[in-house]
Amino acid sequence: MTGHVPRVGLGIDIGGSGIKGAPVDLDTGGFVVDRVKIATPRPATPEAVAKVVAEIAASFPQHVAADRPLGATFPAVVRHGVALSAANVDASWIGVNVEHLLSEVTGRRVRVVNDADAAAVAEHRYGAARDTEGVVLLTTLGTGIGTALLVDGRLVPNTEFGHLEIDGQDAETRAASSAKDRDGLTYAEWATERLQRYYSVVEDLLSPDLIVVGGGVSRKADRFLPLLHLRAPIVAARLRNTAGIVGAAVLAAERFGDGG
């Protein structure tokens, strides 16, 4: 749009293999410039990860003002800024106030959220669930099953519906995409034998208006989503690997007064 001056947020996505960040146009959900990605340090201790986050946050001086807040995702349950679990990062994170730590090293106000929660917010604002009213469930199918829940656009944080016990087993051990690969299932077998059971149970519990499916396997959604029979529409996520960065930037802007 000619003459468009973007409101810019800063998002960083902390993952088990990589840490990536970019300035985000809060009006469109697009990146203002290409993202920066740095491998997650080994071991992924608080001090080591914080150093990488500070480096990425300082990478965009021409595009993000120094007073702009930082939104960051973290692969854990995060309550009031504190990590209560640790997935694919060092166990020493548990109990750490991640917001305080990242604020100290970046000099910015910081909001930290679970990675699936950030992705859901991005999909609702700009992607497959854009402006959907009612209950939206996002699931990411990967090594496990990540979940996020929105009610009329408001996040219900830290849901763990991937760990529901279904038929006596932790759901993600049978229905995650890693289970498909581990057990040598075709997409049709995985959909009809595993995903149908999982999503039917979740739908009975939550009665969502829309289900959004993310994770790397969502690129092949046409091979399994049409085989599922549910009351709610179920669609592939659109933002893919940008969703964490975008959602984190949006949530930080909203907390600190520039959410649009």
How far CA 2 is from CA of 6, 18, 19, in Å, comes to 11, 35, 33
CATH number of 128-238: 3.30.420.40
pLDDT recorded at residue 2: 54
Calpha distance 146→115 (Å, rounded) = 9
pLDDT recorded at residue 257: 82
Calpha distance 47→59 (Å, rounded) = 19
Question: Options 3.30.420.40, 1.10.3210.10, 2.40.50.100, 3.30.465.10; which CATH number does 8-117+242-255 get?
Answer: 3.30.420.40
Calpha distance 20→42 (Å, rounded) = 16
Could you tell me how many helices (H) and strands (E) the chain has, helices first? 8, 14
Name the DSSP letter for residue 8: E
pLDDT recorded at residue 186: 98
Tell me if the bond preceding 41 is cis, omega within 30° of 0: no
Residues of the chain under the 50 pLDDT cut: 1, 260
CB 93 within 8 A of CB 87: no
As annotated, the residues of the chain forming the CATH 3.30.420.40 domain(s) are 8-117+242-255, 128-238
- For the sheet with 154-156, list strands across it: 154-156, 145-151, 135-141, 210-214, 234-236
Calpha distance 97→247 (Å, rounded) = 20
- Beta strand spans in 26-152 (E): 36-39, 70-74, 78-79, 82-83, 110-114, 135-141, 145-151
pLDDT recorded at residue 88: 79
pLDDT recorded at residue 229: 98
How far out from the chain centre does Cα 191 lie?
A: 23
What one-letter code names the amino acid at 210?
L
* Residue of 170, 112, 183 whose CA lies nearest to 144: 170
- Beta strand spans in 35-117 (E): 36-39, 70-74, 78-79, 82-83, 110-114
Phi, psi of 116 (to 5 degrees): -65, -35
DSSP SS3 for 234? strand
pLDDT recorded at residue 107: 97
